[in-house]
Amino acid sequence: MKKKVLIISGGISKERAISLDTGKQVAKELIKAGYLVKITEPSSELIDIIKSYKPSTIFNALHGQFGEDGYIQTILESVRVPYTHSGVISSAIAMDKILSKKIFIENNISTPKYILYSFDKTKLTLIKSIKKRLKFPVVIKPINEGSSVNVFICNKKNIFKKINLLKNYKKILIEEFIPGREIQAAIIGKKKLGAIELKPKRKFYDYQAKYNPKANTQHLIPVNLSKKKYKELMDLAFKAHQLIKCRGVTRSDFKFFNNKFYLLEINTQPGMTKLSLVPEIAAYHGISFINLIKFILKDASTNK
């Protein structure tokens, strides 16, 4: 009897297009492998669709807010059907850049210094705080977006212009800019899958560099690191994965500067598109796209 998989993709976040692409790619592979597949949106009818379709597993292909922040996971817990990727609490912690940073710091994982900015602070107060604790340039970003949505590198001249672009958020994160190499490491279950280095032609590995084929970002694999530093990188990614109690696949984003790794964030639902990094890392290590998807399905659970 063929296994039924319900794929949830789309959603209302700023990463909707990537989510739809992930859903289509995963569905295509599963159908070729003989699965019965249905794709749906996270609508008000979702629970009824799940009860009617009766899938053996739900593949969560959502990205961004409401998809990987614990919100949809809470709904899926109520129907008691195994779903992919991390559970409610792990998803919420990983998506909240402040919470996850605090966990990294408490557990001796280096991460860029930061301040939390709310829009009631004066310009003078902010500039003083940055000069005292961070220094320019700085990176500004929302606390709970993914795929480098609304992330900007700012200097003293343009910071308020860029901050104004984020005024729809109640609070934003301002962190020190770490130059150096962009390296990302993937964990699959309890296995240290591997790493990849990105060399974007843009200022940094932003949304366009990630998803626009014309951005011409170089993907370097294997990563040019000594065995000792490579082990350190993968150990840090695995430590973060375990600290937040993630399951399935995660991808941790690092900067490597002055022989030191800085963990920027951990992604609990990495993309599964043609330009996505985890499938590329998996392929380099002999794991086909369909086998990667099968592992993710096998690792699905209803455990929060």
Active site residues: 15, 147, 211, 251, 253, 265, 267, 271
Is 221 exposed, middle or buried, given 0-12, 13-18 or 19+ CB atoms closer than 10 A? middle
Of 94, 118, 98, the closest CA to residue 166 belongs to 118
Q: Are strands 114-118 and 138-142 parallel, antiparallel or unpaired?
A: unpaired
Tokens standing for residue 99: 């919470």
Cα 108–114–117 angle (5° rounding)? Answer: 145
Helices marked H in 186-249 — which ranges? Answer: 207-211, 227-243
Contact 174/114 with Cβ under 8 angstroms?
Answer: yes
Beta-bridge mates of residue 82: none
Buried b (16+ CB within 10 A) or exposed e, 261-285: bbbbbbbbbbbbbebbbbbbbbeee
Give the whole-angstrom CA distance, residue 246 versus residue 88: 10
Beta-bridge mates of residue 182: 198, 255
Beta-bridge mates of residue 195: 185
